[in-house]
Structure 1
Amino acid sequence: MKIYDTEGFPNPARIRIALAEKGATDEVSFVPVDVMGGEHREDAFKSMNPDATVPCLELADGTHISQCNAITEFIDGHFEGPSLTGTSPKQRAQIAMMNLRAENGLLNAVGAYFHHATEGLGPKLEIDQCAEWGNKQKDVAAQTMAYLDTVLANQEYLAGDAFSVADITAFAGLAFADFAKVEVPEQLSNLTAWRAKVAARPSISG
């Protein structure tokens, strides 16, 4: 199988971490997409992924799967190793809930700020900007960071005692925040400690 992505971007990073957690990085080939050159918006790429976003998974039978959560769902079910999305209905629901909170409230909120309220990826790619919306989403990201800090006051990881896709998403969101110069408040000690712990995992540090 192939993964079309742009190394170093937040959403591709989520998939690369998930693959590493499953010990499956060598089971796929990565095909670079020139996002800065607009390759993701060309017809050839959009025929695989009409969302015009990276990453996009291509299976051996030609099936294309986009959207990080869908790709991670496939990876988690296809490869052996500890589950990232949960094994019981309750666990799967809790992980899905926290993953969406991290995605919508942090990673996507930072993305909206970056793409709408800053120069982002430059004038050729950043069209129809709305700075007011971007700045409001920056506030959402700050509120989500504070919320995640309270969650981590009582448990090891965002969805309980086990590392999950929710942690991957939040970690990528904080990395994006660093890049976009969205400050992580120093007083969020639980979030900071969790981040250091996650950063030390072989799937990320290695």
Structure 2
Amino acid sequence: MKLYETHRAPNPRRLRIFLAEKSIDLATLETIELDLAAGDNLSDDFRAMNPMGGVPVLELDDGRHLSESMAICRYFEALYPEPALLGRAPEEQAFIDMWNRRMEFHLLLPVAMAFRHLTGHFADREAVFPDYGRDRAVAAGQMFDFLDRHLGEQTYIAGAEYSVADITALVAVDFARVVDLRIGDARPQLAAWHERVLARDSAGA
């Protein structure tokens, strides 16, 4: 199998952390690094693999291409069930999925939009609206506040055990630094959670 990724982007990092938690050695995959700033993901060859142009993309042994980081995570969860980062029993799976989607829609996406519209990193290929970027940065900060309260009641995002929801939240919180959004001293519960998940070996994947 081949993995097309961009090392500094949050979604490929999300997958790398997931694989590291599963003790899957990335050296067993052929990894192809793409330069998003140079537009490698916009080439005809890459669009043939993923028409949406995003990373990561996993090329299976039969030549098919699987994109979207969570779809790839689900694939590896089925191949390597332990540790169960997507849950075991139906209720646990549902609650982890709920919290992971919340982290995607209400944290990772606002951070990504703030980055794109405040930095203009992709201004050569998309319209940039700084006011929208500032609004999304505020929304991400509000989610930081929400998570600080939420994590005062439980150890991890979706409950007592570490899950993919923590992985999504971690990459979002870390990536938020590119728009000068940090946890700070006023969010001690979020800071304690961040210290816990960052201390895991997988966080450096």
TM-score range, shorter chain: over 0.9
Aligned position for 1:44: 45
Aligned position for 2:5: 5
Is the partner of 2:3 in helix, strand or coil? strand
Query: d(CA) in 2 for partners of 1:54 and 1:180?
Result: 21
Are 2:116 and 2:122, in contact at CA under 8 Å, matched by a contact in 1?
A: no
Q: Map residues 144-183 of structure 1 onto 2, 5 A cutoff.
A: 144-183=143-182
Is the partner of 1:60 in helix, strand or coil? coil
Q: Map residues 1-150 of structure 1 onto 2, 5 A cutoff.
A: 1-25=1-25, 26-119=27-120, 121=121, 123-125=123-125, 127-150=126-149
Query: d(CA) in 2 for partners of 1:80 and 1:91?
Result: 14
Are 2:118 and 2:179, in contact at CA under 8 Å, matched by a contact in 1?
A: no
Query: d(CA) in 2 for partners of 1:29 and 1:144?
Result: 36
Are 1:56 and 1:67, in contact at CA under 8 Å, matched by a contact in 2?
A: yes
Which TM-score applies when normalising by structure 2?
A: 0.94
Could you tell me how far 1:29 is from its partner in structure 2?
Answer: 2.3
* CA RMSD after TM alignment: 1.4
Could you tell me how far 1:13 is from its partner in structure 2?
Answer: 0.4
Alignment: residue pair count: 204
Post-superposition CA distance 1:2-60 (Å, at most 9, x none): 11001121111000000000001243221111212101011110110111011111111
Query: d(CA) in 2 for partners of 1:75 and 1:68?
Result: 11
More displaced stretch, 142-151 vs 156-165? 142-151
- Which consecutive unaligned segments of at least 5 residues does structure 2 have? none
Could you tell me how far 1:134 is from its partner in structure 2?
Answer: 1.6
Residue identity in the other structure for 1:103 = E
Are 1:152 and 1:190, in contact at CA under 8 Å, matched by a contact in 2?
A: yes
Post-superposition CA distance 1:78-105 (Å, at most 9, x none): 1242111111111111111111111111
Is the partner of 2:49 in helix, strand or coil? coil
Are 2:137 and 2:179, in contact at CA under 8 Å, matched by a contact in 1?
A: no
Are 2:149 and 2:189, in contact at CA under 8 Å, matched by a contact in 1?
A: yes
Is the partner of 1:30 in helix, strand or coil? strand
Are 1:86 and 1:92, in contact at CA under 8 Å, matched by a contact in 2?
A: yes
Are 1:84 and 1:165, in contact at CA under 8 Å, matched by a contact in 2?
A: yes
Are 1:23 and 1:81, in contact at CA under 8 Å, matched by a contact in 2?
A: no
Query: d(CA) in 1 for partners of 2:136 and 2:155?
Result: 27
Are 2:2 and 2:29, in contact at CA under 8 Å, matched by a contact in 1?
A: yes
Distance 1:122 1:66, change over 3 A: closer
Query: d(CA) in 1 for partners of 2:111 and 2:154?
Result: 25
After superposing on structure 2, the runs of 4+ consecutive aligned residues of structure 1 that deviate more than 6 Å are none
